[in-house]
Amino acid sequence: MRRESGEDTVTEKTGGHAVVLGASVAGLLAARVLADHYQRVSVVERDVSPPIGSHRRGVPHGRHLHGLHSRGRRVLEELFEGFTAEMVADGAVTSDVLANTRWQLSGYQLRRAEVGLTGLFSSRPFLEGHIRTRVAALPNVHILEHTDVVSLRAEAGRVTGVRIMPREAGEPGQTLDADLVVDATGRGSRTPLWLEQLGYDRPPVDRLEIGVSYATRTYRLRPGAMGEVSLIVCNATPDNPRSGVMAAVEGHRYILTLVARNGEPAPLDPAAFEEFAAALPFPDIAEAIRDGEPLDSPVPFKFPASVRHRYERLRRLPAGLLVTGDAVCSFNPVYGQGMTVAALEAEVLGRLLSAGGAPQPQRWFAEIAKVVNGPWDGATGADLADPLVPGKRTAKVRLINAYLTRLHAAASTDASLARALIRVLSMTDRPEGLLRPDRMARVLLRRRPASTATTADAPALAGRR
Ligand SMILES: Cc1cc2nc3c(=O)[nH]c(=O)nc-3n(C[C@H](O)[C@H](O)[C@H](O)COP(=O)(O)OP(=O)(O)OC[C@H]3O[C@@H](n4cnc5c(N)ncnc54)[C@H](O)[C@@H]3O)c2cc1C
């Protein structure tokens, strides 16, 4: 992959004007890659860019903990040389994703050991702000802020422009001519509607109802409260559907996101928030926030369903239009996959552009389906382990979920299994590697240790089980 573009690479650019819709993580990463291949890249965004680290309206999810898998961090490093060091210099935290973390899965805490993968921990606005600063500095990228994308213009089977409307009262709308349009407007993307209006089919949609609710608070903790770890991931168990994730972020602060499922409301008053934390399967998070100073009130987010638009199944698509990021697939956020998938899609875009100009939409959607398949199957499969999530449980899903519980148990004492699992969870290795015969033997032949999790006893859970 090529490094950040500068004046010296302008002559290599074969495309004219690319327009990206949405300047969040997926849109900015797409713009970064397009800048290597197009004379001009315009990014249209309805928000005004806030200072680095500040929240903005168009990304309400940005208030909640955003883990970046180490694979995603590596792609960012390739796109923006020195990115990790720059984030750390500004206050982000790095650590080994197994040695300096506590992963509590299916009621077992993974054995901690060096795995050699670096996690980069920060708030989401801090990460996005750093990406935006790098992209905005590219000489051929222009971010049009405070501007709504209204519709697409198409002629003779090709998208040729985008209708935009400044949010400033009294400003007239206009059409941007475009050789390529990339929709990165997130989960609320209107491309399915626009396709229909242009005489194409909407893409089929896969949807899994998960009824996830988040509540998030930021803390300053007492010295040593997290021990030597930067991250605690405490996942639900069969007896206790509550999860929580706590991570170090810039400014010597910690973000704690608590997750309720299947319609249970997330705790929004401070006392309920602490009660919920105390009822997690492991006590570590409650212990970490004991005597901590909350810096804000709990903020909510409701995530009813994981949604995947199957663009790759459409037989007819207009040329000149690609879709990326959450606009294609919006995963259960609990698994922290979205930003890394957006980064991998940007990598695919770079590869296809280098191989011969703007990709045909069919080729694009087929290629990114390969990126999305693994994370989608992993996340929806794991969600189906919860008996209250509606959906068909194939024999394969049931078998894999049973195996994963055994694997989590075995990895609580076996460091090499813990490493293999974390390499898959961080999207570095493919999941099939967990089914290698030697690993399966270690998982299945080993006596299963007793779970060290506590079961749920909070009154709110009583009616649910
Ligand atoms: C609660 C929650 C927690 C999450 N946690 C994680 C995590 O831990 N790790 C992880 O990797 N991912 C996580 N994700 C997913 C992650 O946020 C997304 O995958 C990532 O932000 C990429 O999204 P995106 O850029 O495609 O869309 P978005 O982030 O939704 O951005 C869309 C952008 O388009 C703009 N826009 C929308 N419509 C228009 C319009 N008509 N005109 C102009 N601009 C428009 C918006 O203002 C916004 O800037 C989480 C998501 C949620 C909801």
Q: Is the CB of residue 62 below 6 angstroms from any atom belonging to ligand 1?
A: no
Spatial CA neighbour of 112 closest among 293, 31, 233, 225: 233
Calculate mean pLDDT across residues 54-64. 96
Whether the pTM exceeds 0.85: the reply is yes
Residue 332 contacts residue 212 (beta carbons within 8 Å) = yes
Percent of the chain with pLDDT over 90: 88
Q: Is the CB of residue 61 below 6 angstroms from any atom belonging to ligand 1?
A: yes
Check pLDDT > 70 for residue 260: yes
Residue 244 contacts residue 210 (beta carbons within 8 Å) = no
Q: Is the CB of residue 44 below 6 angstroms from any atom belonging to ligand 1?
A: yes
Q: 350 to each of 251, 283, 330, 367, 404, how far by Cα in Å?
A: 34, 44, 22, 12, 34
pLDDT tens-digit readout, 131-150: 999 999 999 999 999 999 99
How remote is the CA of residue 346 from the centroid of ligand 1, in Å? 15
Check pLDDT > 90 for residue 259: yes
Torsions phi, psi of 192, nearest 5?
-60, -40
Q: What is the pLDDT of residue 464?
A: 38
Q: What is the pLDDT of residue 378?
A: 94
Q: What is the pLDDT of residue 455?
A: 58
Q: 315 to each of 244, 362, 371, how far by Cα in Å?
A: 42, 8, 20
Q: Which residues pair with 255 in a beta bridge?
A: 218, 247
- Res. 3 pLDDT band, cuts 50 70 90: very low
pLDDT tens-digit readout, 98-127: 999 999 999 999 999 999 999 999 999 999
39 membership: H or E segment, kind and range? strand 38-44
Residue 422 contacts residue 98 (beta carbons within 8 Å) = yes
- Please report the sign of the dihedral spanned by the C-alpha atoms of residue 180, residue 185, residue 191, residue 194: negative
- Res. 374 pLDDT band, cuts 50 70 90: very high
Q: What is the pLDDT of residue 190?
A: 98
Calculate mean pLDDT across residues 264-290. 96
Q: Is the CB of residue 303 below 6 angstroms from any atom belonging to ligand 1?
A: yes
**What does the block give as tokens for 27?**
């849109």
Residue 407 contacts residue 435 (beta carbons within 8 Å) = no
Q: Whose CA is nearest to atom 9 of ligand 1?
A: 336
Check pLDDT > 80 for residue 8: no
DSSP 424-436: HHTTSS-GGGGG-
Amino acid at 285: I
